[in-house]
Amino acid sequence: MIKTNKKEEIVVRALRTFQGNKIEVFSFFIYGSDITRIADITRIYRDEGDELKGFQRSEIKSHVKSIVDYLNTPDSLFPNAIILALGKDVEFRQSRGPNPENLVEVAQSGNLTIPVLPEGRRIAWIVDGQQRSLALAKAKNSRIPVPVVAFISPNIDIQREQFILVNKAKPLPTRLINELLPEVDALLPRDLAIRKIPSELCNLLNLDSKSPFYKLIRRESTSQNEQGLVVDTAIIECIKRNLRPPMGALSQYKGSINSDPDAMYKTLLMYWSAVRDTFPDAWGKPPTESRLMHSAGIKAMGSLMDQIMLRADSSSNPDFEIRSSLIRLIPHCKWTEGVWEGLNWRWNEIQSTTKHISHLSEHLIRLDRELSRPTK
């Protein structure tokens, strides 16, 4: 039974149980068109202070349209639950009456009252199912009964945690999860925990005014008006490689129990600042004008970092060793014009393919090894 009363409240029959640290969890059905009346969608973006807000990606119109087309068919079935986070102002009244024999006391039945408020002030937030919810609001049949699972949590951090955990096995954009991970303090599954440090370091490189990548990294929350020349996945893949033991440039700071992200960041800052200063004419340009800022160039230079840092770490002046190594490469690098000798590629022929990245990385590593040998 579903009804809307004069106080702009929707009342539904619901089951209530408790999970975790006494968190209330509800299961109920609601008309599909009512979901976007009670729930807001918190889009991912950064405010003026660069603090991450929200967690949902943008609307995918083609995806929404395909769901609408299906919902408009006569025999459409919609058993997939929408997951909501609810504020504390919802009200649950448990039903009275005798319990049947052999009842499994997993949940209590009752009435759940959900206020209907204006957009931006709504009592609920969509954690999983935003594209489906948007489609349900546009479907011809506005009274499709839709299953909902909801938990009480006005806390954005818990909503993000649940959003990541619910979507980790789905084809959710890797970049979206990567940007959200640094904001999550919960104990994560091992595969997500491994991705957290590289994403945190990528975040620092983008937000630190002392970083050579300051405001140059394109993340999921980057607006179309911002520069964002280097895609974040290229940086994160570099850092993942740098963390691999035993030769990774950052692996010495990665412990089985405790890691030292500050030392990792200082190393990244030292190396990439030297790269920027060594190739100033190629730095900060769109990838179409400089292959150094292209994913292939970033990943190749990230691979080179491991070899250069191996020498720099044993030097009394690591920064000098890094810069000396890079300076020796200047005549051989064709980031903005010319042909790469030994590869026979014009500068703008380099693409973000496994073959090109691998060959360019191997070429730079071989050149560095040859040029760093002492001359007789």
The pLDDT > 70 percentage for the chain reads: 79
Q: What is the pTM of this model?
A: 0.58
- Does the pLDDT at position 157 exceed 80? no
Q: Of the given ranges (23-27, 31-35, 96-100, 233-237), which has the lowest mean pLDDT?
A: 96-100
Contact predicate 179/219, CB 8 Å:
yes
Q: Is the pLDDT of residue 53 over 50?
A: no
Looking at the chain, the whole-number percentage of residues with pLDDT higher than 90 is 46
Among 45, 39, 27, CA closest to 134: 39
- What average pLDDT score do residues 345-358 get? 95
**CA quadruple 289, 291, 296, 302: dihedral sign:** negative
The pLDDT of residue 54 is 46
- Higher per-residue pLDDT: 308 or 188: 308
Q: Give the separation between CA 53 and CA 221, rounded to whole angstroms.
A: 9
The per-residue pLDDT for range 233-262, each reduced to its tens digit, is 999 999 999 999 889 999 998 876 678 889
Query: 179-192: per-residue pLDDT in tens?
Result: 666 655 555 555 55
Q: Decide: residue 140, CB within 10 A, 0-12 exposed, 13-18 middle, 19+ buried.
A: exposed
